[in-house]
Amino acid sequence: DDEAALMAFLGFSDGVAVVPRYNIAPTQPIAIMRVDNGKRQLTFARWGLVPAWVADPGTFSLLINARSDSVLDKPAFKNAIRRRRGLIPADGYYEWQSIDGGKRRPYFIHRRDGRLIGFAAVAETWVGPNGEEVDTVAIVTAAASADLAALHSRVPVTIEPRDFERWLD
């Protein structure tokens, strides 16, 4: 079943139930695997990182992606990339292309072999003035290869299962 395949891909058996969803939009909850107290855990976070130092997220621009070439330097991602890395499991993602008449067509980007993908992510927990906590996440992106650049100039960074530990550490 899908959940067993997901748990095997992530390398553990504890987690939350993950129902497959399609075309997840920014601000929606997204599954993320993180290490907490030395143990992998699968949780949900809001797609759109809000740094801990932001006073009012309503006035802060939504950070859905973190550019790999500047993630270490940007104040919004500095702490997250050093201390709160994660993996977003997926079987692919959509890129939307404009076509004639202002319509848009989705292209599903996935592995040729159909295996799951682990997108590199950075996470942050924003704490509000009343103590409320919101887990947030951004996907790390890199320049697209020549074959995907026609659809979009950036693509999610993917981490192979053999490199999960190194990325999460």
User: Which of 144, 48, 63, 151 is closest to 108 using CA atoms?
Assistant: 151
> What is the model's pLDDT at position 87?
96
> What is the model's pLDDT at position 13?
59
pLDDT at 153 over 80: yes
> What is the model's pLDDT at position 16?
63
> What is the model's pLDDT at position 11?
77
pLDDT at 134 over 70: yes
> What is the model's pLDDT at position 20?
76
pLDDT tens readout for residues 18-68? 777 878 999 999 999 998 888 888 889 999 999 999 999 889 998 999 999
Task: Name the pLDDT band for 169 (thresholds 50, 70, 90).
Answer: confident
Task: Name the pLDDT band for 15 (thresholds 50, 70, 90).
Answer: low
Q: Let me know the angle formed at the C-alpha of 27 by 25 and 29, rounded to the nearest 5 degrees.
A: 85
pLDDT at 97 over 60: yes
> What is the model's pLDDT at position 58?
86
pTM for the full model? 0.90
Bridge-based pairing of strands 133-143 and 158-159 is: unpaired
Bridge-based pairing of strands 133-143 and 154-156 is: antiparallel
